[in-house]
Homo-oligomer: A and B are copies of this chain.
C-alpha cells in the first residue's frame, strides 16, 4: 500500500477553456526507479477508484513487480484524492467544478512524470476501464515515450451506447432533490443508493448474475450484493465527484484535440507502442466489437479478448482466471 503523495500543479488551463486552480495530482509509487530510469511503468485509475485500488496488477509473483519495476499510479482528477469537486477550494468547488477531459488528465500526468520525476521512457502504460481511456490518450499524445500499452476493458473513445448509459445514470443523481444542483451540505444519500442499485446491471455481465458469482465476493444473495457492494460503494463517494467522472468518461475520445481534430482512425494509426487490446468478451460497457475495431487500426496491436463471464469486471482481478490472463499479456509486453 502506497501512501498518497501530491504534485502541486498550480493553475492549469483545461481543454474546455476553463481554468482549474490550485490543482493537485495525487499519486502513489511502488518500487524504485533504477539508475538509467528505464524501469518505469504507469497504471491509470478507473472511474471513482484510487491508486490503492490498482495494486492487484502487481506483486512478487506477477509480471509487474515493484522489486523490478518502478510503478507510478496517478489518480484521475475528480476521484476525491486528486483535485475534485469535493476538495477544491471555493469558488470552483462542488457545483462549480469544471469539466475535465481525459486529455487534461494525461497532459497533467505527463508534466508530472517528465518534469517532476524526470522520466522520459516508459516500459508500459496500462489501465482498466477509464484507465484504458487514458492509456490510449497517452499512446497518441506521446507515442515515442512508451514501449507498450495494455488497455483493459476499455476503449479509445466512449461509444454511443456507453454515452446513453452514462446520461441515464447522471439523471438519477440529478433527480434527487437533496442533490441541489451540486450545492448540498448533506449528501444526497437516497439518490446515491438508487444510483448504485441501477448501476449494478452493467459492470457484471448477465452470466455473472446467472452463476451467482457475487458469492465469490462474499455476498449471499442479490439483495445482499446490491446493498453491501453497490449502495455502499456509491454512498461512500461524493455525488459531485461521481458526476465529474461521468462527465470525463462521457466525453472521452483520443482524437478530440487540436492534433487530431476528431480523426479517430488517424489518431489510432499513430500509435507506435506494442499493444495488446484486452476487452472482456462479456462487457456491456465496452463490447469486444469496439476493441476489435480499435486494434485493427493500431499498427502494432493484438486483439486478445478476455474469455470471461465477469463482464467489465474481467479487468479487476476479482476472478483469478481473468487476472492470470491479463498477467500473461503484461509479461509478454514487458518482455518486449
Contact = CB atoms under 8 A, between A and B. Distances in A.
A146 to B, nearest CB: 29
A172 interface: yes
B200 A168 contact: yes
Nearest to A162: B206
A222 interface: yes
A193 to B, nearest CB: 8
Chain A interface mostly: helix
A176 to B, nearest CB: 6
Contact of A172 (B164, B172, B212): B172
Interface residues of A, number: 39
How many copies of this kind of chain does the complex include?
2
Contact of A159 (B177, B209, B284): B209
B164 A190 contact: no
Given A175-B172, A175-B190, A175-B191, A160 B198 contact: no
Contact of A194 (B165, B172, B290): B172
Nearest to A166: B201
9 contacts: A159-B206, A161-B204, A161-B205, A161-B208, A164-B201, A164-B226, A168-B201, A171-B198, A172-B172
Interface of A: 159-165, 167-169, 171-172, 174-177, 190-191, 194, 197-202, 204-210, 212, 222, 226, 284, 287, 289-290
